[in-house]
Amino acid sequence: RPRVLLSVLREACFERFENEDLFTAFSVGFGRYENDRLLKPSGIELMNLPRTANIEISVFRRVPNSKPPERLLYHGLIALKDVFPQLAKGDASSNTDDDQSSRANSKSSSLGSKIPTAAAGGGVREPLVWEHWLGLFGSERQLRQDDPSRIFARCQEMGESE
């Protein structure tokens, strides 16, 4: 099973939350990792994931003296079963243009996500890299009510829109 390094390298369209205490959380299966801030350039390593795993990326606002102590603002999904075929075909692309910091619409925010993956089995290989902007849905959208591939495709579309 592959190892996945998930990094949040840049963010866009969070200007209205400039003085807010925001953080990112990643959920896979029964595990959850909370980052202390919005960006996570060093990444988190997810190991022994099946190639069909779905990674939920969420942006929360800390709300002191509240229950729960955080409020979900945005969330999206990375469907690994849709990422791995892109890597296998060599279609992994790099969207790092500076003009992308303005991409998103009012219902989504963009995060740059980079998932280097190293294929298992015989020999050392360079990590494969998939790097894209992802738009995120507002908290009102229930991600579990739709097909993960469809949600992931929509997150990619929102991340590429202007």
Find, among 162, 115, 160, the residue nearest to 134 by Cα.
Answer: 160
What residues form DSSP beta bridges with 112?
A: 133
Residues 158, 61: Cα–Cα separation, whole Å: 22
pLDDT digits (tens, 9 = 90+) for 117-126: 444 555 556 7
Cα separation of 108 and 2, whole Å?
A: 29
Hey, is 33 helix, strand or coil? Answer: strand
**CA–CA gap between residue 52 and residue 39 (Å, rounded):** 25
**Helix, coil or strand: residue 79:** strand
Q: What is the pLDDT of residue 85?
A: 81
- Is the pLDDT at 92 greater than 70? The verdict is no
**Cβ(159)–Cβ(134) below 8 Å:** yes
pLDDT in tens, 117-152: 444 555 556 777 888 889 999 999 999 889 999 999
Q: Residue 96's Cα: distance from chain center in Å?
A: 15
What pLDDT is recorded for position 9?
A: 87
pTM of the model: 0.75
Cis previous bond, 68, omega within 30: yes
Which of 46-55, 58-67, 95-104 is predicted with the least confidence, judged by mean pLDDT? 95-104
